[in-house]
Amino acid sequence: MSATPLAGLKVVEFTHMVMGPTVGHILAGLGAEIVRIEPIGGDQTRRLLGSGAGYFPMYNRGKQSICLDLKSDAGLEVAADLVAGADILVENFRPGALDRLGLSWEVTSARNPRLIYCSEKGFLPGPYENRTALDEVAQMMGGLAYMTGPPGRPLRAGASVIDVTGGMFGVIGILAALEERHRTGRGQKVVASLFETTTYLVGQHMAQFAVTGKPAAPMPARVSAWAIYDVFETRDEPVFIGVVTDSLWEKFCRLFGLDDLWADETLRANNQRVLARDRILPTIRALVATMSRDEVIARLDGSGLPFAPIGRPEDLFDDPQLAEGGLEDVTLDTGAQTRLPTIPLMMDGERLGKGATLPTPGADSRAILAGLGYEAARIDELIADGSVGAG
C-alpha cells in the first residue's frame, strides 16, 4: 500500500486562517484531492504579517486553487458544481455565511446525498453559537490561557493549538462519517468547534477539581506530581529534566554522582521526594549549573530519563530526528524552497510526507473547470467577466 489511504476522495474547501485549512491539509496528507476556493485575488490569509505570516504555507500545501467571485451568479454556479461532485466540503466561515450563498448543508446535500459537510466553528449549538471566536478567544474562555500563564496573568499557548486541534477533531468526524457512508450510502454534517475543543483539552484540570475538590493551579504555580520535573539552567542553555519513577531516581542519582541523596532512604519514594522538593532542588540546580547543556544531555541520553533541550522553532529545520521524514520539501508561492512539518503519522510502514507546492491564487482554475466538463470557450468567458480568477 502507498501511504495515500484517502486517494480518490474529492474535497472542496471554503476556508481561511488556520482551523479550516488544517482539515484540508491533513486530508491532503492522507491522499485526498483538495480544491481550495479562494476569492478573486486570493485568500487574505496569504498576506498576513507577523505571527500570521506562516499560516498559509503551513496549512495549504498540496492543494489546488481556484478563485471565484461568490457574489456573482456564475461564480456561485461553479462552486455549486464543484460541491455536487465532491465527497467532502470543509468550511470555517462565520455561522450562516455559506447558507446565505445557497451553499448550506440542506441545499448541498439535497443535490449530493453522499456529501460529508464539515463546518469548523467557534462554538457548538448553545447560547454562544453565533459569537465570533478565534483561537485566542477560545483559549481565554476555556481555561487554557489561565492554566498556561502565571497566576493573574493568563497567557495563550505559543502556537495555534486550538485551531489545529479543532481541525483534527473535524478530520476525526469526517473519517467516522466516511465509515458510516460505507454502510448507509449517505453523507452527513460534521461540526467541530474551538470552545468545546479547548474544554476537552483542559478536561484533566476539571477532573482534578472533581477528584480533589481543589482548583487546579496554573502550570507555572502547580505542585508537580514529581519532585524533579522542571527546567534547569546549565552554564549555557537550559534543559528540562524529569524523574518520574523511583527506579529513575536511583539512576539519576548515580549518573550525576548524587550519592548523598541516594543514601537518604527518606527520599526513596516519589511522594517523599515531592514533599522534600525544597531540600532536593537547590542541590540539583547547583550541580547542573556547573555543566554545559551538551554535558547534561550526554549523561541523560539513552538512560531512559525524560529530558529535553529547549528548542526554538527555527532550530527544527536542522533537527536530526525530523530529517528522517518529519519535514517535506515545499515550494512557496514565491518560488522559494523550504521544508515544513509533514503529517506526523506512519501508515503501513511509510511516512506520509512528500514534496508539496503552495499554489498561487487561481493557479488551477482552468484545469478544475475543465475537469467539471466546462468547454474552453465557457472557461474563457468566466475568466473574462471576472467570475473566475486564473493564476
Nearest to 359 by CA among 28, 19, 23: 28
Q: 280 and 267 in contact (C-beta within 8 Å)?
A: yes
β-partners of residue 38 are: 67
Pick one of 2.30.40.10, 3.40.50.10540, 3.40.630.10, 3.10.20.740 as the CATH number of 10-201+325-389.
3.40.50.10540
Cell of 105: 448543508
Amino acid at 21: P
At the top level of CATH, the class of 224-313 is: alpha beta
Q: Give the integer Cα–Cα distance in Å for 288 and 281.
A: 10
Give the chain's length.
391
Sequence-distant (≥ 6) Cβ neighbours of residue 246 within 8 angstroms: 268, 269, 270
Cell digits for 194? Answer: 474551538
Residue ranges, CATH 3.40.50.10540, the chain: 10-201+325-389
pLDDT of residue 236: 97
In the prediction, which pLDDT does 3 show?
Answer: 66
Domain ranges in the chain with CATH number 3.30.1540.10: 224-313
pLDDT of residue 36: 98
Contact 191, 124 (CB under 8 A): yes
- Other C-beta atoms closer than 10 Å to the C-beta of 237 total 13
Contacts of 61 (CB under 8 A, 6+ apart): 25, 28, 328, 330, 340, 356, 357, 358
Q: Which residues of 79-107 are buried (b: 16+ CB within 10 A; e: fewer)?
A: bbbbbeebbbbbbbbeeeebeebebebee
**Predicted pLDDT of residue 367:** 97
pLDDT of res. 1: 40
Whole-model pTM: value is 0.94
Per-residue pLDDT in tens (0 to 9) along the chain, 391 residues: 456 899 999 999 999 999 999 999 999 999 999 999 999 999 999 999 999 999 999 999 999 999 999 999 999 999 999 999 999 999 999 999 999 999 999 999 999 999 999 999 999 999 999 999 999 999 999 999 999 999 999 999 999 999 999 999 999 999 999 999 999 999 999 999 999 999 999 999 999 999 999 999 999 998 888 999 999 999 999 999 999 999 999 999 999 999 999 999 999 999 999 999 999 999 999 999 999 999 999 999 999 999 999 999 999 999 999 999 999 999 988 889 999 999 999 999 999 877 888 989 999 999 999 999 999 999 999 999 999 999 8
Q: Classify the C-alpha dihedral 200-205-207-213 as positive or negative.
A: negative
